[in-house]
Amino acid sequence: MSMSSYTSWRMSFSQPLAAVAFAALVGSPAAAQAPAQPAPAAPTMTQQQINEEMLKELRQIRQLLERITQPQAPPQPTTAKLTNLTGYVMGRADAPLTLVEFTDLQCPFCRQYATSTFDQIKKNWIDTGKLRYISRDYPLDFHPQAMRAARAARCAGDQGKFWEYHRNLMLVAGDFSDDDLKKRASTLGLDGAKLGECLASGRFDAVVNESALAARSVGVNSTPTFFLHGRMLTGAVPAEELARVVDDELKRSGG
């Protein structure tokens, strides 16, 4: 559209609207009581204003087209089969059910689950021998300290206190710096210097990355995500909801 055509279009569009507005104003009681005023001269648009208006409309068209053509994310799966059940395990090896959690130790929803649900699951299902619980890593890219925390938990596992350290990371505030992670180790009776050496070596990076790859291969894209005998649950699942799923699976398995 040329500049002259654009200006003509705006004038032809605005003139009828102005006429309607003027007729409505004259016919109203307020207009009848007010003294007649000379109509102000219509402001003219400069070339720069015309250009800006055209650019504004083009941007709006572009945004609309982007919304229309933006691909929709695939729906979150609700079932998946895990073939590799490696990870740190809590509970009896012969428990009838196995629950796998993919977690990010910097994730607020994982922390919410840890503080509001996990203790009940442990008391009612893990400690009673009905559920085996496996923790696996899925550090998200936008959590800059998640990988460091996953390393630290595994380094603590080397000293026999994975679960205690894992729990500490979830419940105790900190910045997950090297000093913070070593201080946590000392608080739990671990060798902080040894944990620091383990962190610096990066020797668990391949294991953590393999766990994240396994998560993505079955459709995991957020944390926490849980798998219970093919069922997939996402988010900070309330204890009542998780208990219903566990009960249902126990009935299916005859446990």
Residue 133, pLDDT score: 96
Residue 226, pLDDT score: 95
Cβ-proximal residues to 47 (8 Å cutoff; 6+ apart), any chain: 3
Other CB atoms within 10 A of residue 56 CB? 10
pLDDT digits (tens, 9 = 90+) for 20-52: 333 443 344 433 344 445 544 445 557 676 567
Picking from 225, 216, 223, the residue whose alpha carbon sits closest to that of residue 106 is: 223
What topology is assigned to 88-253 in CATH? Glutaredoxin (3.40.30)
pLDDT digits (tens, 9 = 90+) for 147-197: 999 999 999 999 999 999 999 999 999 999 999 999 999 999 999 999 999
CA dist 181 and 170 (Å) reads 12
Residue 119, pLDDT score: 94
Distance, CA of 50 to chain centre: 43
pLDDT digits (tens, 9 = 90+) for 69-105: 655 544 555 666 666 677 899 999 999 999 999 999 9
Residue 138, pLDDT score: 97
Other CB atoms within 10 A of residue 93 CB? 7
The helix (run of H) or strand (run of E) holding residue 102 is strand 97-103
Residue 85, pLDDT score: 72
- Span 212-239, mean pLDDT? 92
* Bridge partners for 106 per DSSP: none
CA dist 233 and 227 (Å) reads 6
- Span 220-233, mean pLDDT? 92
* Bridge partners for 136 per DSSP: 102
* pLDDT reading at 113 higher than 80: yes
* pLDDT reading at 109 higher than 60: yes
Residue 62, pLDDT score: 73
Classify residue 83 by burial, with Cβ atoms within 10 Å: 0-12, 13-18, 19+: exposed
Place of tokens 């309607």: 20
Location of each CATH 3.40.30.10 domain in the chain: 88-253
Cβ 132 vs Cβ 99: under 8 Å: yes
Residue 101, pLDDT score: 96
